[in-house]
């Protein structure tokens, strides 16, 4: 996206829509949803098949409540659709070569991003007033395959910022960039921002005195709430946070009060859904975050993110009336989100199936201060060379799902039960 004029930027954000009465908001959403369903039915064959199969013609889907009549499409379902009918499983509503970006997220899953996904990202900046035109922004998230770095860069370009595409790793170099280029903002996962700031301190810098940094942003990690206070109080930074996934981009945002994530309902319809029944949960009940994109490019209907959360419709101090996701409580199903990446259980099996010396395995996900920590318990034959195997496991895990295992504990054969959980996540407890 090219740099937008001030007028075009202002038109992205309509204050009156943010504050409309809840009943008006509902009417507005229902109207747009009904139109979207008609569009998706006409232009995305997979949506047409799903509605026909459910016996629900588009004209019967008039409001958000009616969505309960359709099944939730899980990430697994989407992978199957994509495999059966590559690349987008009959969900793409435009010619493939009209897409500006196609991302690949773990799975592997293809993600079609239309301009509306960039707009949603851009709107979150305009809404907060940060970053703004003229800011120098270091983007310290992955640029290859996944949408993180490039999506943010597209939005920052449109806003008129100067972008340093730093990517991940090379912490010392990132500190140098931050200092020498007088960057005013960092976009990254909160734990990596903290790693950069701590490295800067180790190198003898004082963040407030020696840097021009005012703003940090990032999402996808539970411990933003732990880190938020440190960013704000210790370093005097403004924190922006949002909720999104690799398949959707950002779909909910923190207004700055830290009271949850308001639904970004300009571009998406969000439901919190009981994973067993598919029915919409009541406020403060736990359910899966399910998203219908109001997209003319990639009209996903009832896509189940796998994230568990609750929501509230209580008035927010900011005056906005969009409901808020109050807490992300973990994940259901076949995916885990760790170190900012989604990993499919099948990828775990794939990684270890290439290591016949590992008889059984179990991953323990922990929080080490502000960082995710991955510990592996691996059952091996007595004859296995643990030194070599340790290196093989590390390399294999990085190849298959791009994650570093922090610690490997080898166990004698027969220690882990045959039906033991392959992942134990203690980060949420």
Closest contact distance (angstroms) between CB of 158 and Zn ion is: 24
Strand blocks (E) in 202-276:
215-219, 238-245, 249-253, 261-263, 268-273
Closest contact distance (angstroms) between CB of 255 and Zn ion is: 3
Residue pair 139/156 in contact (Cβ under 8 Å)? The answer is: yes
Q: Which of 139, 143, 106, 152 is nearest to 306 (CA)?
A: 106
Closest contact distance (angstroms) between CB of 22 and Zn ion is: 14
- What stretches of 204-334 show up as alpha helix (H) in DSSP? 207-210, 224-229
DSSP state string for 160-214? T-EEEE--SS-HHHHHHHHHHTT--EEES-HHHHHHHHHHHHHTT--HHHH----
Our CB check for Zn ion shows the closer of 168 and 310 to be 310
- Length of the chain, please? 429
Our CB check for Zn ion shows the closer of 168 and 321 to be 321
Our CB check for Zn ion shows the closer of 255 and 281 to be 255
Our CB check for Zn ion shows the closer of 181 and 316 to be 316
Closest contact distance (angstroms) between CB of 267 and Zn ion is: 18
- What is the binding site for Zn ion (CB under 5 A)? 255, 316, 318, 320
Closest contact distance (angstroms) between CB of 124 and Zn ion is: 13
Closest contact distance (angstroms) between CB of 275 and Zn ion is: 27
Our CB check for Zn ion shows the closer of 22 and 412 to be 22
Our CB check for Zn ion shows the closer of 255 and 374 to be 255
- What stretches of 327-419 show up as alpha helix (H) in DSSP? 345-353, 386-401
Closest contact distance (angstroms) between CB of 225 and Zn ion is: 15
Our CB check for Zn ion shows the closer of 302 and 320 to be 320
Q: Helices then strands (H, E): number in the chain?
A: 13, 19
Closest contact distance (angstroms) between CB of 268 and Zn ion is: 17
Both tokens assigned to 313: 């419709």
Q: Which of 355, 333, 364, 361 is nearest to 399 (CA)?
A: 355
Q: Which of 163, 164, 158, 150 is nearest to 126 (CA)?
A: 158
Q: CA 165 to CA 155: how far, in whole Å? A: 13
How open is the CA angle 56-58-64, to the nearest 5 degrees? 90
């Amino acid at each position: 996206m090219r740099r937008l004029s001030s007028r075009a930027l202002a038109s992205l954000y309509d204050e009156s829509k943010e504050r409309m009465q809840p009943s008006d908001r509902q009417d507005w959403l229902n109207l747009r949803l009904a139109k979207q369903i008609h569009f998706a039915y006409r232009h995305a064959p997979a949506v047409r098949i799903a509605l026909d199969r459910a016996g629900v013609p588009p004209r019967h889907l008039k409001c958000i409540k009616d969505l309960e009549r359709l099944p939730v499409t899980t990430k697994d379902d989407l992978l199957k659709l994509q495999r059966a009918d590559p690349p987008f499983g009959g969900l793409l509503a435009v010619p493939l070569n009209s897409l500006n970006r196609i991302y690949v997220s773990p799975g592997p899953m293809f993600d079609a991003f239309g301009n509306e996904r960039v707009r949603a990202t851009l709107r979150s900046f305009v809404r907060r007033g940060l970053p703004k035109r003229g800011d120098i922004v270091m983007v310290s998230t992955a640029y290859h395959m996944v949408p993180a770095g490039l999506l943010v860069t597209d939005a920052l370009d449109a806003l008129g910022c100067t972008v340093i595409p730093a990517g991940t790793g090379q912490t010392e170099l990132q500190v140098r960039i931050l200092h020498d280029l007088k960057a005013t903002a960092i976009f990254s996962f909160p734990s990596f921002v903290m790693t950069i700031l701590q490295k800067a301190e180790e190198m003898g810098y004082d963040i407030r005195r020696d840097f021009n940094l005012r703003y940090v942003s990032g999402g996808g990690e539970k411990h933003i709430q732990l880190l938020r206070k440190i960013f704000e109080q210790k370093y005097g930074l403004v924190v922006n946070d949002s909720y999104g996934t690799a398949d959707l981009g950002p779909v909910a945002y923190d207004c700055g009060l830290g009271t949850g994530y308001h639904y970004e309902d300009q571009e998406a319809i969000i439901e919190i859904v009981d994973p067993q029944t598919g029915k919409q949960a009541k406020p403060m009940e736990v359910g899966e975050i399910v998203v219908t994109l109001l997209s003319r490019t990639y009209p996903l209907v009832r896509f189940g993110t796998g994230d568990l959360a609750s929501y509230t419709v209580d008035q927010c101090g900011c005056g906005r009336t969009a409901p808020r996701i109050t807490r992300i409580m973990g994940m259901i199903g076949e995916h885990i989100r760790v170190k900012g990446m989604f990993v499919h259980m099948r990828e775990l099996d794939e990684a270890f199936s290439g290591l016949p010396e590992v008889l059984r395995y179990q991953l323990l996900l922990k929080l080490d201060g502000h960082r995710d920590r991955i510990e592996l318990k691996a059952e091996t034959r007595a004859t296995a060379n643990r030194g070599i195997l340790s290196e093989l496991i590390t390399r294999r895990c990085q190849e298959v799902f791009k994650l570093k295992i922090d610690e490997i504990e080898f166990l004698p054969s027969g220690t882990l039960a045959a039906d033991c959980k392959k992942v134990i996540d203690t980060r949420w407890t």
